[in-house]
Amino acid sequence: MEQTPSRRVFLSVAATGVGGLLLTGAGLTPTGNRTTSRTLRRDPFTLGIASGDPSPDGVVLWTRLAPDPLGPQGLGGMPARDVEVEWQVAADENFTRVLRNGVETARRERAHSVHVELDGLEPGREYFYRFRAEGHLSPAGRTRTAPAAEAAPSPLTLAVAACAHYEHGYYTAYRRLAEQEPDLVVHLGDYMYEYAPQGYTAMGGAVREHTAGKCATLADYRMRHAQYKSDADLRAAHAVAPWLVAFDDHEVENNWAGKVSSTGDPEFTRRRANAFQAYYENMPLRGTSVPDGGSIRIHRRVDWGPLARFHLLDTRQFRDDQACQDGLRAGCDDRLATRRTLLGEDQRRWLLDGLASSRARWNLVAQQILMAQRDYRAGPGIEVNMDSWDGYAAERTRLLTGFRDSGAANPVVLTGDMHMHHAADLMLDFDDPDSPKVGVELVTSSIASDGDGYRDKARVAETIAENPHISYLDQRRGYIVCRITQEELQADFRTLDYISRRGAPAKTGARFTVPAGHSTLL
């Protein structure tokens, strides 16, 4: 999609926070004025701005003050006091038509993060927003409200992303995603990684280095989030559109399951609570997701007018421990046990009730781990990943049966985690080629995790032959862009040939279409 010159300027300025175009306008005084009131000597908006969870009349606006992102104790170099932050919403990117403004308090106990839950806006509209704190003006962001429930369905451009290990490569894929100017971004987890420097190495080695130590304390998680958001390409992706976010495992610890640490950490309960708090502080989430007693609510529904309903899932907090000691396993009968759960009974019922009550044309189930069966063993026998839905096979069957029986129109599962693109049909019985197909799954590759990636055609052909319900695999880095109308969902699997250096172009590696009323890929 070709950008207009004004959009190119907006993306550049939003990412860097410089340039006169967005620093003047009605309502907020430019940075150079009111110097007598400034006590923060350096720009506190180094982590950028973001928006999320749009509704027909509002959206969440986010920022976090951090003049020194990697400052001591994960507090971003902020003074030991609360700070008043002004915010402003305008109808245009020049801020000549300011519609709303107000003040929020950035509190020290929340790492000076700000979450503004707007309401009273018009549905289906584009807006621009920014913040000011003690004489410093933030870059501007572009956001959008959801269409009204009774509105005529209008097309939606949706980007899907996941898995961005900071050490493994540059975030060029985030930049390319931003340049496509989607209406909405869905991020499916592993937004940041908890490992110490070189704790998880990519084939090509590291291009940059994590902050010191493995994340355990609240300060550790806050600092790691700040390091990730110090990347200009990530900030640009946040600035261009509202996001729907849900974590996977690395925002806490690799392959954690419920209250069980994958490393046997005796302090895991505290560590998990620290990770949840830092996650909320650094994401554009509503107050319903404020951590409470060591838990956080991430599963939620977001409606996009009559066209789409998003069902965001939490596939970590309520699951049973992985069967058979985790990893790739063959002959693991425990994974088939009917009592095993990945979602937890309450969340599974919530999802199926939401599907049954949905009147949307498309039902998009946004979750983290591969739902389709994937056999990693060529030839006789089956070897599957215990951390994916294959490790919870009976609940998957119940869930996919629920997809079919709910009557929900056009279920499409959006997935992350795998570090490679997949396009698959979802079947009630993956071992029976004649089993009913009840939906499709679109799995995004990683933004950066595992480095440059590759295209092993022989391995791809072998995997697809073993798993005929999978139509496409690609081990290169990238993201997905979906264009959704009343008639069809079109998914472009975008790929980059390298991320070990900057500047790679993005191209479409494959395109699939799901016609409305069909439960299979074309």
Average pLDDT over residues 370-390: 97
- Enumerate the β-bridge partners of residue 439: 426
Spatial separation of the C-alpha atoms in residues 78 and 71, rounded to whole Å: 8
* Nearest partner of 424 among 407, 408, 412, 409, judged by Cα: 412
CA dihedral in degrees (353, 357, 363, 368; nearest 10)? -20
The length of the chain is: 522
Tokens of 123: 């549905």
- CA 356-360-364 angle, to 5 degrees, is 80
What's the Cα-to-Cα distance from 199 to each of 169, 173, 194, 196, rounded to whole Å?
Answer: 15, 23, 9, 5
Is there a contact between 166 and 193 (Cβ–Cβ < 8 Å)?
yes
- pLDDT band with cut points at 50, 70 and 90 for residue 16: low
Spatial separation of the C-alpha atoms in residues 29 and 205, rounded to whole Å: 46
| Residue 409 one-letter amino acid | A
Q: What is the mean pLDDT of the chain?
A: 94
pLDDT above 60: residue 230: yes
Spatial separation of the C-alpha atoms in residues 63 and 51, rounded to whole Å: 9
Neighbouring C-beta atoms of residue 287, cutoff 10 Å: 9
- Enumerate the β-bridge partners of residue 82: none
Is there a contact between 44 and 66 (Cβ–Cβ < 8 Å)?
yes
Spatial separation of the C-alpha atoms in residues 139 and 44, rounded to whole Å: 11
pLDDT above 90: residue 405: yes
3-state helix, strand, coil in the chain (%, to 5): 25, 25, 50
| Residue 437 one-letter amino acid | K
> SS3 for 326?
coil
Spatial separation of the C-alpha atoms in residues 127 and 147, rounded to whole Å: 13
Q: Strand 411-415 vs strand 362-366: parallel, antiparallel, or unpaired?
A: parallel
* Nearest partner of 176 among 509, 504, 510, 422, judged by Cα: 504
Spatial separation of the C-alpha atoms in residues 291 and 289, rounded to whole Å: 6
Q: What is the pLDDT of residue 26?
A: 45
Q: What is the pLDDT of residue 21?
A: 34
pLDDT, tens only, 466-521: 999 999 999 999 999 999 999 999 999 999 999 999 999 999 999 999 999 999 99
Q: What is the pLDDT of residue 35?
A: 39
> SS3 for 283?
coil
pLDDT above 50: residue 20: no
pLDDT above 80: residue 31: no
Phi then psi for residue 462, to 5 deg, are -65, -45
pLDDT above 90: residue 28: no
- Enumerate the β-bridge partners of residue 483: 157, 490
Q: What is the pLDDT of residue 293?
A: 87
- pLDDT band with cut points at 50, 70 and 90 for residue 34: very low
Q: What is the pLDDT of residue 39?
A: 84
* Nearest partner of 229 among 192, 195, 200, 199, judged by Cα: 192
Average pLDDT over residues 188-207: 97
* % of the chain beyond a pLDDT of 70: 93
- Enumerate the β-bridge partners of residue 89: 100, 129
Q: What is the pLDDT of residue 410?
A: 98
Q: What is the pLDDT of residue 15?
A: 54
Spatial separation of the C-alpha atoms in residues 53 and 137, rounded to whole Å: 24
pLDDT, tens only, 173-191: 999 999 999 999 999 999 9
Q: What is the pLDDT of residue 36?
A: 40
Q: What is the pLDDT of residue 33?
A: 40
pLDDT, tens only, 88-129: 999 999 999 999 999 999 999 999 999 999 999 999 999 999
